[in-house]
Amino acid sequence: SAEELDARIIAAKAALGDRAVVLGHFYQRDEVIKYADFVGDSFQLANAAKSKPDAEAIIFCGVHFMAETADMLSGPDQKVILPNLAAGCSMADMADIASVEACWAQLEEVYGPMDAVDAEGKVPVIPVTYMNSSAALKGFCGEHGGIVCTSSNAKTVLEWAFQRGQRVLFFPDQHLGRNTAKAMGVPLEQMPMWSPRKPLGGNDPESLEQARVILWHGFCSVHKRFSVAQIDKARAEFPGVRVIVHPECPMPVVDAADEAGSTDYIVKAIQAAPAGSTFAIGTEINLVNRLAAEYPEHTIFCLDPVICPCSTMYRIHPGYLAWVLEALLEGEVQNQITVPEQVTVPARIALERMLAAKP
């Protein structure tokens, strides 16, 4: 029962003390979040993983790419545990290292050697990977003068990249790439989309020549389902409603919203609002429902409560949390996430650049 599980988790956590730290992403269900020692967005959790050097184990209640990142940023003897190994991310799976390397090789045919600098000292392309990607892609970015971004610091990261390169290859999330670049004034014609199925992404060399941001074809299956019609409906029913969506939403949705921002941005916006505010939020339902419960002085609802749970985030059930904690007490490390050293070394370069790029 839920009560038994609660008792087991509480007992195991108490017995482990500082040996284990539990990190929880904002999208985790309440039954898990209540045991997190630290709750945050992707950027904050990466920092948290780096700043708990005394914990023997970091229990990451989130998805696989976050646990990989925690492993790469934590100390060499620390163990990162993902309570359910099936907690992946469909967006991260949309870019694999072989496809990214094939794309890079084709871009090299168009732009010439990737390490050649122009009169301004800029290389042809800087690779930027969204945090929501495999460790191998982060390693690729570290090896090729690139960087990782999260949804909270994507703009700062793109500015960093444009200082060093004529253009950016942004993967895997087309929407975050497009929305961020558009907000920075990059015209849509200068954002061709890459498709690994077609040579040169199906783009003619001329459009690639003027490209500033080459987008990958990935998307978040949760956020892509929000629509402008939902925003119109919210505005009709709640005049004065403040609509905030995550930048993983498609561009028309971000354009129709009042604001777009990472999960932490959404949390802070609600915290700072005067009592009696009304919010329509376009992001994962567990976070929206929790905010609605935590801030009863506001009216907070999800643009569509039916379609938007993240099924993989939801795979972290408290039963798995109890299991990995109890195993640790027995001296067993279950579901450890380990990134090979040859990937970690370059990926850490790209991750450290990301951590230096403030939200």
Binding mask 7-46 for ligand SF4 (x = CB under 6 A): ----------------------------------------
Alpha-carbon distance of 136 to 68, in angstroms, equals 10
Biggest CA pair distance of the chain: 67
Q: How far is the CB of 20 from ligand SF4 (least distance, A)?
A: 23
Q: How far is the CB of 267 from ligand SF4 (least distance, A)?
A: 15
Q: Whose Cβ is closer to ligand SF4: residue 144's or residue 178's?
A: 178
Pair of tokens at residue 138? 């982060």
289 near ligand SF4, rule: CB under 6 A: no
Q: Whose Cβ is closer to ligand 13P: residue 129's or residue 152's?
A: 152
- Does residue 260 sit in helix, strand or coil? strand
Pair of tokens at residue 79? 């163990």
132 near ligand 13P, rule: CB under 6 A: yes
Q: How far is the CB of 218 from ligand SF4 (least distance, A)?
A: 9
Three-state secondary structure of 341-352 = HHHHHHHHHHHH
Q: Whose Cβ is closer to ligand 13P: residue 107's or residue 280's?
A: 280
Alpha-carbon distance of 107 to 94, in angstroms, equals 19
Contact 26, 35 (CB under 8 A): no
129 near ligand 13P, rule: CB under 6 A: no
Alpha-carbon distance of 76 to 96, in angstroms, equals 26
Q: Is 283 annotated as a binding residue?
A: no
Residues of this chain, 310-329, that bind ligand SF4 according to CB under 6 A:
310, 312-313
Q: Is 302 annotated as a binding residue?
A: no
Contact 298, 276 (CB under 8 A): yes
42 near ligand 13P, rule: CB under 6 A: yes
Contact 155, 185 (CB under 8 A): no
Alpha-carbon distance of 187 to 194, in angstroms, equals 17
**Window contacting ligand 13P (CB under 6 A); options: 111-119, 145-153, 197-205, 208-216:** 145-153
150 near ligand 13P, rule: CB under 6 A: yes
Among 69, 99, 129, 151, binds ligand 13P (CB under 6 A): 151
Question: Number of residues in contact with ligand SF4, rule: CB under 6 A?
Answer: 12
If 0-12 CB within 10 Å is exposed, 13-18 middle and 19+ buried, where does residue 182 land?
A: middle
Omega within 30 of 0 (cis) for the link into 172: yes
68 near ligand SF4, rule: CB under 6 A: no
Q: Whose Cβ is closer to ligand SF4: residue 208's or residue 313's?
A: 313
Contact 311, 292 (CB under 8 A): no
Q: Is 1 annotated as a binding residue?
A: no
Among 129, 152, 179, 286, binds ligand 13P (CB under 6 A): 152
Residue where the block lists tokens 């390169």: 165
100 near ligand SF4, rule: CB under 6 A: no
- Closest of 108, 250, 103 to residue 173, by C-alpha: 250
Q: Classify each residue of 183-212 as buried b or exposed e, where b means 16 or more C-beta atoms within 10 Å of its C-beta.
A: eeebeeeebbebbbeeebbebeeebbeebb
174 near ligand SF4, rule: CB under 6 A: no
Q: Are strands 38-40 and 20-25 parallel, antiparallel or unpaired?
A: parallel
Q: How far is the CB of 82 from ligand 13P (least distance, A)?
A: 14
312 binds, among ligand 13P, ligand SF4, none (CB under 5 to 8 A by kind): ligand SF4
Among 20, 59, 81, 89, binds ligand SF4 (CB under 6 A): 89
Q: Is 247 annotated as a binding residue?
A: yes
Interface residues toward ligand 13P, by CB under 6 A: 41-42, 89, 132, 150-152, 220, 248, 262-263
Interface residues toward ligand SF4, by CB under 6 A: 63, 89-91, 132, 220-222, 284, 310, 312-313
